[in-house]
């Protein structure tokens, strides 16, 4: 529960998955397309971007609290969209985390701490599948 609101993000969508989404300050003004053939974005790409950015920021905060110095981190967010057994639609998240400067145990502990504290992780916990993988290659190699 939020006890002190720090920020409110606002975006307006019109036309659903084949429409447009615009933020209140017009920084985001994007066409949406269901086919996602490179001419527009879709809600899953936006969610993947938001979750990846939030999770990476949480890693940085947790690393600071643990007195770990990080200069090369990255999170690749993937959001899968598909049908479930009941014929409805669902999403699942996969996060690929790059922490090349840390030893395996340090990286795993930091990821677990970030997953406990990340606002997106808290919002999705026990609601949708979230899989987190520690990548073994450098941030610059992630796509």
CATH of the domain at 5: 2.20.25.10
Based on the fold, state whether residues 59 and 89 are members of the same structural domain.
yes
Tell me how far apart the alpha carbons of residues 72 and 107 are, in angstroms, rounded to a whole number: 12
Range of the domain at 24: 1-41
How many domains does the chain contain in total? 2
Indicate the average pLDDT of the chain: 92
pLDDT in tens, 54-75: 999 999 999 999 999 998 899 9
Predicted local confidence at residue 34, as pLDDT: 83
CA 27, 29, 33, 34 torsion: positive or negative?
positive
Based on the fold, state whether residues 1 and 65 are members of the same structural domain.
no
Tell me how far apart the alpha carbons of residues 8 and 141 are, in angstroms, rounded to a whole number: 34
CATH of the domain at 129: 3.30.300.20
Tell me how far apart the alpha carbons of residues 104 and 120 are, in angstroms, rounded to a whole number: 24
Based on the fold, state whether residues 63 and 37 are members of the same structural domain.
no
């Amino acid at each position: 529960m939020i006890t002190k609101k720090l920020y409110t993000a606002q975006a307006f969508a019109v036309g659903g998955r084949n429409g447009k989404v615009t933020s209140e300050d017009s920084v985001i003004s994007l066409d949406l397309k269901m086919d996602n053939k490179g001419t527009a974005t879709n809600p899953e790409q936006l969610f993947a971007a938001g979750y990846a950015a939030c999770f990476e920021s949480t890693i940085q905060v947790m690393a600071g609290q643990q007195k770990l110095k990080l200069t090369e981190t990255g999170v690749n967010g993937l959001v899968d969209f598909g049908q479930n057994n009941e014929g409805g639609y669902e999403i699942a998240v996969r996060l690929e985390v790059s922490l090349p400067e840390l030893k395996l145990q340090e990286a795993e502990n930091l990821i677990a701490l970030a997953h406990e504290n990340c606002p997106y992780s808290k919002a999705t916990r026990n609601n949708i599948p979230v899989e987190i993988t520690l990548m073994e290659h450098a941030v610059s190699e992630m796509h």
